[in-house]
Structure 1
Amino acid sequence: MTQGRFSRSRLEWFSSLPACLLLLSVVIFSTSSDIHNQMLRGGEQMWSGYYKLRMDPAKPECSVIQDIDAAVAEELAMAPSDDPMAALLGSHEKDPAEVRLAIERSAADCRAAHANYEDLQDKLTPGVRAYRAVELFVADLIAFGLAAQRYALVILVMLCAVTATLTRHHIAMRAMETRLDYTVSLTLQTVANAMLLGSSVIFRQSSLGSSTTVSAEELLLHNFWVIGFACLTLASLYRLFRVPDDLESGGNPNQAFLAVPLYTVMCLISGTYFALIGHSSGIGIYLGKMMELADMFLNVGLYVWVGMMLKQTRLATLVFNVFRPWRMPPEMLAVVAVLVAAIPTAYTGASGIFVIAAGAVIYSELRAAGARRHLALAATAMSGSLGVVLRPCLLVVVIAYLNREVTTDELFGWGIWVFVLTAAMFSLVAITVNRQSKFDLAPSAEAFPASIMALRPLIPYVLVIVAVVLLYRFALDVRMDEFSAPRLLPVIMLAILLYEHISLKNRGGRASGEFNHQGLERSVRSATNDTTAEIGALLLLLGLSVSIGGVIERSHIMEAFPQAFDSAWSAMVLMVIILVILGMIMDAFGAVILVTATVATIAYSSGIHPIHFWMVTLVAFELGYLSPPVALNHLLTRQVVGEAEVLAAQQEGGTFYQRHERIIMPLIAMGLSLLLVAFVPLMFYAG
């Protein structure tokens, strides 16, 4: 049904619109900090000493001494017992010269204080007061934004989690196809959500009953969690009794359990464990730890939003148009797609986010070029795997934030070489091991001019991006880097959407600007609709990954391993196994938090260089996301390309490799890369 500007559905009014406003507020609050810094500099340039004018100066309390001689005489006439300083020093006689010097200094200081006060009063012109009012308002806005970060995150997570539940958008091993799938999945979701609610209530009560005083802000945060999980429980209960009509009857019990969302499985495991050890508030406590990194998780939400807005643009199709004239064989085009995707992957924060954002376009373009379904699915799943080591990937920023042993510059510097290696391995596997097509490229004389022509539509996009980056650079003194990317990228994507609809209006010959406004609004609305469900699925999965990390931490599994190895080689073997397993069962950000607290210290103590260890960690995680039984990136690929395409691929014949190409090819490429990244550097520093 076509919707006008204000004809939103109820879900859009109560979910997408508030989520959009929350995300915009995060961008505004973070940008207001840059604006405030520029206002302080501008105030200092316009009025010297502006920093002293930000507050009304206090009038000095001292009185200027007019008659020094009289003050000296009065001080000398004072009885020694009346002078506490003289009594302390045991002195009964005052030196007139010293008394005069002290009074003269006091008088000079007082005159200077009054002169400074009068000078500041003279400088407080109406212009300064007006400027100061605006600057202080921005400062208060920043303070409010920083204080509200935790509340914004809880509201965003709960709002989007409820949306994901109502729209059946949680991440699971397979989609709900039958009524049995639906019943099993929603029943266990309801149980898990009730477990989350109970844990949050118990955590709230234990906090109130503790010896330490709970602040009003902490109590409000507890209440937000409780209300949020209550709404989530009611949403899953509502869905349980409102069975959709499009489901098939019957079902297989074994397959039905595969339709249970991953967050539900993690919740049931961690909740049961914490209940058995008498620590029922455990899930609530570990979810509360998300608040310590509220800005990071909000950035994840912003990156998802950026990815969904990217999905609304023509950028991916236009980039593919540049390579289409060469008539590349599917294997080579898959390599090009994965390599080109590395850059936007770095700017969308993590591999899973990019798969969600551009996976459908990559898959359809590869299929249009004649790629087999398995090859297209493999490339789509891997499209987000190579760019996680490139600047300004949020995951690397989090690693540097949690580990003082490494910096972002060091990690990104070595990340370039890891990217080159993984790209070479994927190219080698795709073009040699995996080749099933003839290499018959178009003549360069024919293809090159066509590619150059295909670049022309991309020039305006580049100009829009450069314009926004330069605006931030010169107006706000903000460079585009890993720290500013979360607040710049949403603005860049909004500018690109605005450009697309202006150009579309002009090409359509419409004189009215109404078409453009509706088109822009519809694109942002569609992107936000997708964002709410994806944020709910990802952040809830991330939060429960942190809870699973708590289970691993409290069960003292890691203590069963030596806390240091005599050989870095032996330690690396163990590290690789553990890190791949963590990548298979946990979200990236939750896994990084756990690894920082446990595995990293063992690696450092065993002689593994911190930078080397984290490069291995990133590659191992990506291998884990591509490895069964969970294979998160494959699950996200299934989610964006559709269940029908995956089922059609599974029904294709051929050799064992051809029938499982979508799984085997990424495993070979990333497995070889991991072995090289893990063990080759040891030859140079471990002996």
Structure 2
Amino acid sequence: MSQRGFSRSGLEWLSSLPACLLLLAVVLFSTSSDIHNQMLRGGEQLWSGYYKLRMDPVQPECDPNQDIDRAVQEKLAEEKNSDDPMAALLGEAEIDPAEVRLAVERSVENCRQSHASYESLQGKMTTGVKVYRAVELFVADLIAFGLESQRFILVLLVMLCAVTATLTRHHIAMRAMETRLDYMVSHTLQTVANVMLLGSSVIFRQLSFGSDASVSSTELALHNFWITGFAALTIASLYRLFRVPDDLQEGGDFNKAFLAVPLYTVMCLISGTYFALIGHASGIGIYLGKMMELSDMFLNVGLYVWVGMMLKQTRLATLVFNVFRPWRMPPELLAVVAVLVAAVPTAYTGASGIFVIAAGAVIYSELRAAGARRHLALAATAMSGSLGVVLRPCLLVVVIAYLNREVTTDELFGWGIWVFVLTATMFAAVALTVNRQNDFNLAPASDAMAPMLSALKKLIPYVLVIAVVVLFYRWALDVSMDEFSAPRLLPVIMLAILVYEHFSLRKKKSEVIDDAGNRVQVNHQGLERSLRSATNDTTAEIGALLLLLGLSVSIGGVIERSHIMEAFPQAFDSAWSAMLLMVVILVILGMIMDAFGAVILVTATVAGIAYGSGIHPIHFWMVTLVAFELGYLSPPVALNHLLTRQVVGESEVLAAQNEGGTFYQRHERIIMPLIAMGISLILVAFVPLIFYT
């Protein structure tokens, strides 16, 4: 590889490279447990009784050649000369020599068996066993180290990526910074919020030491990691505050400037102010510390983001669109196809927002190239990550089942298929009937089949690469592809695809998506550059998403401590009334909170009310998932629309807003998803009640 391929910027050396190593460590640690299980089975197959050979056998201290008659006489003499006070109190009992002899004989026999076992194990301790055992025990130690370091990896990843997102101005906000006023207001409030985070963490550490409970060295190190991380984040925001870029416009409007403040900052200011007013200044630190209890879940979120960014570097999305391009579908139909096809990778990237970030630019550019109006393309892009969250192996569903023993992943995914069919049907009905502006003049099958089959052939190598990785894990490690193994298999699959493209596309040109969402022809950049670009994007996105998620947990703490939910009845006589309230609450939570933080809050507060009111747990969580997705598409926050704006470019969104037409046409990107998901939510929420209430 050329020297140029390894030329990195200072930020890449200090940010994306360490983040890449941390993510690889997570995959390694999680896979090492599978390797260890197979090594234990292999050791048992190679050497019977390998479990006993894992430690050096200890020679028994007893005498296998002991004189039984002499031992019996000594035992009888000991019993007669015993000064046991209990024997004196209860009276002397007659000693049976036969029983004493039987006990001595059993003891000698056990001793002989122990010596025989020792000699047998000594005979099996060959050089091969010792070498194999050394490797197996090393893997076991690696697993133990991985489990112990999981929380530290999460803190390092969150803080490293949050600092990167701050330095690169990549935090998620309602609108981008365009003027100097936007910039100053945003970074001033970011600095205040970061100082709040730092202060809360310091106070939480002091309170932990002031309590009666002793603080372990691990907990102390975690406290110090959080404090160091928030100090670095504060310094980064101060640096950005005083280093104003030259490309910003002069002037600005205060109302618009506040919309450029990152969502995590708003959540931090709200929760920090609330906790300070009730005399609980350590509140944010405590709730961020709760992330450690689910560190594996949050690390999986990071892995899914990485998978999404690696997907963005491949040709997969473009090749899939090439399959449908020969049919010359009208834009509305192509939008439906795009959203339906996107459901599968959405399920495998963990959450809707991650997929929008990963493939949104491709979907938007393909729809625009097919003649779709901007509002339709933006609506489809925002919805591309909404339908697949109920399909296997979506991480969000796994988290729900983990936190709620009333439901299982099999039950949720089983009913999720029907919810997917419903939401897909609703979106298709809205897209193909409301404001349809094109006729359905598909290309003749005779013209379309040949190029479609040619496009499908180009996908065969990718299918084979995926199959090889999945089958390797299945046969070599006894790991099936499911919702529990997906977080560690998918990064390996995407790395394998990048390796395949590195060797198959060298010196070839391929289509990629630029920052404006346009398809351009470029030379293939190779494995190292692709992985570097993916990790650069991943670092900023993880910082934005995980910090937002952590502060969502803090907002959940505000709602929990303010006892808002206690104002509502803890159970309703009517399941219909309860469901109406649930729908309103869940949509609002979806509008203001990240999915994972909202699930934690709903589990602690709303779920119990639903169960007590006669709503079936599976029904309730299906409603929750659909309501969350409606919330992500609903103003004023509309997270999926914010992510769409981020990937397609501010200029495209502004161009769409400046287009004329009817009220619906001017706001189609917002209204179309709301109609489709709103009708779906009503049907999912209330139709099942007819059958079981």
Is the 2:291–2:298 Cα contact (8 Å) retained in structure 1? yes
Partner of 1:553: 560
Partner of 1:495: 496
Match of 2:648 among 635, 641, 653: 641
How do 1:74-473 residues align onto structure 2 when only pairs under 5 Å count?
A: 74-78=74-78, 80-82=80-82, 84=84, 90-473=91-474
The answer to whether 1:14 aligns with 2:14 is yes
Distance 1:452 1:138 in 2: 46
Distance 1:325 1:545 in 2: 45
**CA apart distance, 1:86:** 5.4
Once the two structures are superposed, residues 283-338 of structure 1 have per-residue CA deviations (whole angstroms, 9 ceiling, x without a partner) of 00000000000000000000000000000001111100111111111000000000
**CA apart distance, 1:65:** 5.1
Q: 1:635 to 1:518 in 2, by over 3 A?
A: closer
Partner of 2:583: 576
**CA apart distance, 1:93:** 2.9
**CA apart distance, 1:665:** 0.1
Distance 2:572 2:192 in 1: 43
Partner of 2:685: 678
Distance 1:546 1:620 in 2: 18
Distance 1:243 1:669 in 2: 42
Partner of 1:541: 548
Structure 2 residue identity aligned to 1:290: M
> How big is the alpha-carbon RMSD for the aligned residues of Structure 1 and Structure 2?
1.5
Is the 1:203–1:281 Cα contact (8 Å) retained in structure 2? yes
**CA apart distance, 1:517:** 11
Match of 2:532 among 520, 525, 533: 525
**CA apart distance, 1:94:** 1.2
Structure 2 residue identity aligned to 1:626: L
Match of 2:597 among 585, 590, 600: 590
**CA apart distance, 1:539:** 0.1
**CA apart distance, 1:88:** 7.8
Q: 1:536 to 1:89 in 2, by over 3 A?
A: farther
**CA apart distance, 1:113:** 1.4
Is the 2:507–2:524 Cα contact (8 Å) retained in structure 1? no
SS at 1:94's partner residue? Answer: coil
**CA apart distance, 1:518:** 6.9
Is the 1:22–1:156 Cα contact (8 Å) retained in structure 2? yes
Distance 2:464 2:440 in 1: 36
Once the two structures are superposed, residues 409-460 of structure 1 have per-residue CA deviations (whole angstroms, 9 ceiling, x without a partner) of 0000000000000000000000012312111111112112221111111010
**CA apart distance, 1:3:** 8.2
Is the 1:80–1:93 Cα contact (8 Å) retained in structure 2? no
SS at 2:58's partner residue? Answer: coil
Once the two structures are superposed, residues 232-270 of structure 1 have per-residue CA deviations (whole angstroms, 9 ceiling, x without a partner) of 000000000000011000001100000000000000000
Distance 1:78 1:314 in 2: 86
Partner of 1:513: none
Partner of 1:51: 51
Distance 1:531 1:39 in 2: 33
The answer to whether 1:566 aligns with 2:577 is no
SS at 1:278's partner residue? Answer: coil
**CA apart distance, 1:394:** 0.3
Extract unaligned runs of 5+ from structure 2.
Answer: 510-522
Once the two structures are superposed, residues 181-228 of structure 1 have per-residue CA deviations (whole angstroms, 9 ceiling, x without a partner) of 000000000000000000000000100111000000000000000000
SS at 2:675's partner residue? Answer: helix
SS at 1:211's partner residue? Answer: coil
Distance 1:621 1:78 in 2: 78
Is the 1:80–1:87 Cα contact (8 Å) retained in structure 2? no
Structure 1 residue identity aligned to 2:20: C
Structure 2 residue identity aligned to 1:133: A
Distance 1:227 1:131 in 2: 41
Paired residue total: 679
**CA apart distance, 1:6:** 2.4
Is the 2:506–2:524 Cα contact (8 Å) retained in structure 1? no
Is the 2:505–2:524 Cα contact (8 Å) retained in structure 1? no
Partner of 2:516: none
Distance 2:404 2:76 in 1: 64
Distance 2:430 2:440 in 1: 15
Distance 1:621 1:266 in 2: 18
Structure 1 residue identity aligned to 2:568: F
Partner of 2:37: 37
Structure 2 residue identity aligned to 1:48: S
Structure 2 residue identity aligned to 1:541: L
Distance 2:387 2:93 in 1: 83
Once the two structures are superposed, residues 625-679 of structure 1 have per-residue CA deviations (whole angstroms, 9 ceiling, x without a partner) of 0000000000000000000000000000000000000000000000000000000
Is the 2:164–2:539 Cα contact (8 Å) retained in structure 1? yes
Is the 1:149–1:295 Cα contact (8 Å) retained in structure 2? yes
Is the 1:392–1:485 Cα contact (8 Å) retained in structure 2? yes
Q: 1:43 to 1:518 in 2, by over 3 A?
A: farther
Distance 2:626 2:501 in 1: 36
**CA apart distance, 1:109:** 1.2
Once the two structures are superposed, residues 498-519 of structure 1 have per-residue CA deviations (whole angstroms, 9 ceiling, x without a partner) of 11121112768xxxxxxx9971
Partner of 1:511: none
**CA apart distance, 1:64:** 2.7
Distance 1:43 1:64 in 2: 31
Distance 2:5 2:92 in 1: 87
Distance 2:403 2:78 in 1: 64
Q: 1:476 to 1:83 in 2, by over 3 A?
A: farther
Is the 2:506–2:526 Cα contact (8 Å) retained in structure 1? no
The answer to whether 1:607 aligns with 2:614 is yes
**CA apart distance, 1:126:** 1.2
Is the 1:4–1:518 Cα contact (8 Å) retained in structure 2? no
Extract unaligned runs of 5+ from structure 1.
Answer: 509-515
Distance 1:122 1:567 in 2: 73
Distance 2:525 2:642 in 1: 34
Structure 2 residue identity aligned to 1:76: L
Once the two structures are superposed, residues 92-148 of structure 1 have per-residue CA deviations (whole angstroms, 9 ceiling, x without a partner) of 431111111111111111111111111111111111111000000000000000000
**CA apart distance, 1:71:** 1.4
The answer to whether 1:658 aligns with 2:665 is yes
Q: 1:79 to 1:37 in 2, by over 3 A?
A: closer
SS at 1:257's partner residue? Answer: helix
**CA apart distance, 1:81:** 4.3
**CA apart distance, 1:63:** 2.6
Is the 1:154–1:225 Cα contact (8 Å) retained in structure 2? yes
Distance 1:189 1:79 in 2: 82
**CA apart distance, 1:167:** 0.2
